[in-house]
Amino acid sequence: MRVTQSMLSNNMLRHISKSYESMAKTQEQLTTGKKISRPSDDPVVAMKGMTYRTNLTEVEQYKRNLSEAYNWMENSDAALDKATSVMQRIRELTVQASNGTYEESQKGMIGKEIEQLKEHLVSIANTQVAGKYIFNGNDTTKKPVDLSKTPSVSVNENKVNLELSQGIEVAININPKNVFTYTAGSPESGLFGDINELKKALEGTSGNEINGFLDKLDSHINKLVAERSELGARYNRVELIDARLGEQEVIANRILSDNEDADIERVITDLKMQESLHRAALGVGSRIMQPTLMDFLR
């Protein structure tokens, strides 16, 4: 086969072009820090990357759900703590009023304080988080307690569930019926109904004995404590889920990095090697392209 000067020149230019292409790809990896810049570079890496990114996105969404769960549950716990303190204060006042040495005017003053404490309980029951009422089941747009209406207390027992992990949903709210009303009673006979009757007894407008309300108050306090304990148990579970999601996020980021991130040390080494080979190719090419007759005729 006859080898001509043009064949040698074309082969040399083709190889130099491939060398430029390899250097450009390596420089792109060094600049971006990624093995590939487009799916066509390595379809397998690209497909795995899509799967890994989907997993990482799910974990990130679950962590956002966790933040919402913490917000609801911590506010609920704080509200129940304040409500328990208020109920204990009402009980203390009831014990004082049960003392036979108290005059009617003094009992009336205690009744006024209890009325203020009741109003404070209403504000606690109507606690909002991000504009949502957290003590009204899944109907978060309406007040759970409105003493100007009948019935005055919501009995919405529907749960507000958040998916905190794959297939795992946790209720982040409490059951208002267990806190503000008797489980087997009507809303009017619950917490606020008993406080109203206590106030009437203190003002002397009802024939009920004041000390007869102590058992009712103890029952309400026990319900508050029990509901708070149940909320605390769910909060502990949420913390365990949070710890597990933290581990999953670290693993997902590591797998994604292993799949897509370039080995910078190796890329730098490859680039140096390609530069040396390219310089050598240029040097060899300059000797292959021998002078032509025209060069001698100048």
Domain range for 139:
52-256
Q: Are residues 10 and 81 in the same domain?
A: no
Q: Are residues 153 and 12 in the same domain?
A: no
Mean pLDDT of all residues in 75-100: 91
Looking only at the bridges linking them, the beta strands covering 128-129 and 132-133 are antiparallel
- 44 is a domain residue: no
β strands within the chain, DSSP E = 128-129, 132-133, 161-165, 168-171
Domain count, the chain: 2
- 45 is a domain residue: no
Q: Are residues 268 and 250 in the same domain?
A: no
Q: Are residues 163 and 220 in the same domain?
A: yes
Q: Are residues 251 and 108 in the same domain?
A: yes
226-242 b/e with 16+ CB inside 10 Å = b?
ebbeebeebbeebeebb
The identity of residue 151, as a single letter, is P
Please give the C-alpha separations between residue 31 and each of 120, 233, 288, in angstroms, as whole numbers.
62, 50, 34
Query: Residue 162 sits in a domain of what CATH number?
Result: 1.20.1330.10
| DSSP-assigned letter for residue 39 | G
What's the confidence (pLDDT) of residue 207?
58
The structure's pTM equals: 0.76
Q: Are residues 77 and 116 in the same domain?
A: yes
Q: Are residues 103 and 237 in the same domain?
A: yes
What's the confidence (pLDDT) of residue 65?
94
Q: Which residue has the tokens 């503000």?
A: 180
Asked whether the predicted pLDDT for residue 50 surpasses 80, the reply is yes
What's the confidence (pLDDT) of residue 171?
92
Instruction: Specify the higher pLDDT residue, 101 or 237.
Output: 237
Q: Are residues 238 and 138 in the same domain?
A: yes
Q: Are residues 56 and 148 in the same domain?
A: yes
Q: Are residues 79 and 29 in the same domain?
A: no
pLDDT digits (tens, 9 = 90+) for 146-199: 877 766 777 788 899 999 988 899 999 988 888 876 444 454 568 888 888 888
- 42 is a domain residue: no
Instruction: Give residues with Cβ within 8 angstroms of 37, minimum separation 6.
Output: 28
Q: Are residues 160 and 284 in the same domain?
A: no
Residue 2 pLDDT grade (very low, low, confident, very high; cuts 50, 70, 90): low
Asked whether the predicted pLDDT for residue 292 surpasses 80, the reply is no
Residue 200 pLDDT grade (very low, low, confident, very high; cuts 50, 70, 90): confident
- 221 is a domain residue: yes
The rounded Cα 283 to chain-centroid distance in angstroms is 61
What's the confidence (pLDDT) of residue 295?
57
How far apart CA 59 and CA 242 sit, in angstroms, is: 10
Asked whether the predicted pLDDT for residue 272 surpasses 90, the reply is no
Provide the token pair at 122.
């209403």
Q: Are residues 152 and 225 in the same domain?
A: yes
- 199 is a domain residue: yes
- 40 is a domain residue: no
3-class secondary structure, 145: strand
- 170 is a domain residue: yes
- 41 is a domain residue: no
